Chains A and B, each alone.
Chain A
């Protein structure tokens, strides 16, 4: 069974600094997708960034980038130039498609606080 582990329950970072959130996963599949979702306080979850496992190049979305290490099953999120609006819960998620069915598994989340 697939698992997703986020080992950092809480983190804080100074505004304008860089922070990295960790995520590891376990799977026997070769084709899958990885995501980072952001859930601001009392607001709905939104996608931050996604990575297809077959792509070697790390995904980047403006200030957000990932370090995808397939062999190590590691998928960390780097936030550069942190802003107060980045304060949120961040969830790492794994998705696989097998025989037409989809499975999404989320980690337990990392609460990030950006300090002024």
Chain B
């Protein structure tokens, strides 16, 4: 078990460019979450997948943001036409299946720090 991994760890981009982040959850975890965390704040929920289905999306996830989990394993988060306000740490977390016994504990990755110039 190597834990949740995220790639890249850091990304610097110019305003208006598109960026894509990847998250690899713990292998037996079917639930996957994306969060955004700005300096000095707690994580803000963005979206949630159960297997390949995107079951929940925050209103923070504007039409410039899209997330996918095509095979129910890794997930990608894309931001189009980046803005300076998108600068943040993007966290991914995963949880084991709710059955037979839900723990609902989330296991977090190290995050991708995005800087938009």
A4-46 vs B, CB cutoff 8 Å, 1 = contact: the mask equals 1000000000000000000000000000010101000001111
For window 41-59 of chain A, which residues contact chain B by CB distance below 8 Å? Answer: 43-47, 50
List A contacts of B104 (CB < 8 A).
Answer: 33, 50, 95, 97, 102
**Whole-angstrom distance between the alpha carbons of A93 and B56 in the complex?**
18
Q: How large is the interface on B (under 10, 10 to 19, 20 to 34, 35 or more residues)?
A: 20 to 34
A92-104 vs B, CB cutoff 8 Å, 1 = contact: the mask equals 0101010011111
List A contacts of B55 (CB < 8 A).
Answer: 100-102
**Whole-angstrom distance between the alpha carbons of A35 and B111 in the complex?**
20
Closest to A95 in B: B104
B57-85 vs A, CB cutoff 8 Å, 1 = contact: the mask equals 00000000000000000000000000000
A102 touches B43 (CB 8 A): no
**Whole-angstrom distance between the alpha carbons of A37 and B44 in the complex?**
14
A91 touches B42 (CB 8 A): yes
Given known A44-B111, A45-B91, A101-B55, contact A106–B43 (CB-CB < 8 A) = yes
**Whole-angstrom distance between the alpha carbons of A50 and B107 in the complex?**
13
Looking at chain A's contact residues, the main secondary structure is: strand
The minimal Cβ–Cβ distance linking A47 to chain B, given in whole angstroms, is 5
List A contacts of B33 (CB < 8 A).
Answer: 104
Chain A residues within CB distance 8 Å of chain B = 4, 33, 35, 37, 43-47, 50, 91, 93, 95, 97, 100-109
Please name 14 further chain A to chain B contacts, defined as beta carbons within 8 Å, in addition to the given A4-B42, A106-B43, A109-B42, sorted by A numbering: A44-B111, A45-B93, A91-B43, A93-B42, A101-B48, A101-B55, A103-B56, A104-B45, A104-B106, A106-B42, A106-B44, A108-B42, A109-B40, A109-B41
